[in-house]
């Protein structure tokens, strides 16, 4: 967990990772599944949008490999 001090004397707070958003150019809603060992991760597209934590390297790599998804922003 990342901890960040806001000001001298303040208690450390957990840093929240930025979200990365994708738009689905084909479907308005659907679920995508990523198999990781014995686990299936589910990513849901809602209203043509899907977001994942910016520090989720495996999730980002999976979503960026999908030709129907376009990353929004930088």
pLDDT of 51-69, one tens digit each?
Answer: 999 999 999 999 999 999 9
Distance set, CA 50 to CA 5, 22, 23, 45 (Å): 31, 5, 6, 5
Q: What pLDDT does 8 receive? A: 61
* DSSP-assigned states of every residue in 3-39: EE--STTPPPEEPPPPEEEEEESS-SSEEEEEEETTE
Q: What pLDDT does 16 receive? A: 72
* Percent of the chain's residues with pLDDT above 90: 73
What does the domain layout of the chain look like in residue ranges? 17-71
Q: What pLDDT does 33 receive? A: 97
Arithmetic mean of pLDDT, 31-35: 97
What is the C-alpha to C-alpha distance for residues 52 and 10, in angstroms, rounded to an integer? 29
Q: What pLDDT does 17 receive? A: 74
């Amino acid at each position: 967990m990342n901890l960040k001090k806001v000001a001298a004397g303040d208690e450390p707070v957990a840093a929240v990772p930025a979200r990365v958003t994708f738009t689905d150019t084909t479907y308005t809603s659907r679920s995508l599944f990523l198999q990781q060992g014995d686990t299936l991760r589910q990513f849901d597209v809602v209203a043509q949008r899907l977001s994942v934590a910016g520090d989720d390297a495996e999730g980002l790599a999976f979503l960026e490999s999908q030709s129907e998804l376009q990353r929004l922003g930088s």
